[in-house]
Amino acid sequence: MKLRSALLLVPATLALAAALLAPATAGGATARPGHAPTTLRELAKQQHIKIGSAVDVAALAAEADYRRVLNREFNSITAENAMKWESIEPQRGVFDWSGADAIVANARRNHQAIRGHTLAWHNQLPTWITDNEANFTAAELRGILRRHVMTEAGRYRGQIRAWDVLNEAVADGGGLRDTIWLRKLGPGYIADLFRWAHQADPHAKLYYNDYNLESDQAKFDTMFQVVTDLLEDGVPIHGVGFQGHLDIQFSFPDFAGHMKRITDLGLEVAITEADVRMFLPVTDEKLATQASYYSQMMSACIANRRCTEYTVWGYTDRHSWVPGFFEGQGAACLLDENLAPKPAYDALLALGGKRT
């Protein structure tokens, strides 16, 4: 997503390690054929998709109610910040895997798939990279990037269902985004990333991930050309992630049509970071619109057999990134600050049944 560089990972603590050793309280709920699902995990089983949430590692450590709902409701998780480069290698050659390892351990204990996020991005890079861009030769920076991809993807080899290999490399309005990677390495870095990731973990699905692909036609067209070129060159790419950060003040965009163009290439698609923000205060009318948007995103995924995943970018307003980056807006998640379900949660459960 955009503008998350200030969302710094809070390091995992001993409390998290203790929590992970405690007996699991969730487990995978069993879907009941012919019955309406009572949890999102049941809905996921009925629809044969992954339904996930981004995970706040500090909340996972400190909040038992947060852990309980996370593990009850979701059969897939994404590390919100703990797998980003600034979190795992804040100093060159000095690694901190505690947050990422804790999230992986929790997922494995609770039978959840894991989405890796993200191997390469222009934001949330460690300062030892951003402050020294002018000092790196292209060959040196390429080596640094390759080592990072091989190290992180290799550490979790066989444990990650899908990696967001490259995040937000296309500019708003089309064209490749002006990033340190493009400036120093040229556009060939994109193919290199996917080849390295596949070498490090040949079992993981490899995705390009971005926001506004459903609404910014020029941006989508650039992404589509990039992906098409990768396929023609035999580069191992398996899918495209549509982040799904929506705002109820705008009309619902064309997820179904744009997703179909990708799946017609033989690729997977996923909704990877869904939330639906609104200007505060909350009203019943706004909540109804929000519920419709969440439901329409899920319906677009269910209707496309190559849509593998529907992940929300945090499931509770208690830990949403939205208020910190959109002035006057919030209430973007499925559950409120007290973990009470909102109409959007019920709207998703109403989609229970066999996938058509």
**Active site amino acids:** 168, 273
Intra-chain end-to-end CA distance of the chain, in Å: 31
Alpha-carbon gap, residue 240 to 243, rounded angstroms? 10
Burial class (CB in 10 A: 0-12, 13-18, 19+), 22: exposed
> Taking the CA atoms of the chain, what radius of gyration do you get in angstroms?
19
Cβ-in-10-Å burial (0-12, 13-18, 19+) of 134 comes to exposed
Q: What is the per-residue DSSP string for 264-298?
A: TTT-EEEEEEEEEEEESSP-HHHHHHHHHHHHHHH
Q: What is the dihedral of CA 88, 92, 93, 96, to 10 degrees?
A: -20
Q: What count of other Cβ atoms lies within 10 Å of the Cβ of residue 270?
A: 29
Nearest CA to 110 among 22, 34, 170, 171? 22
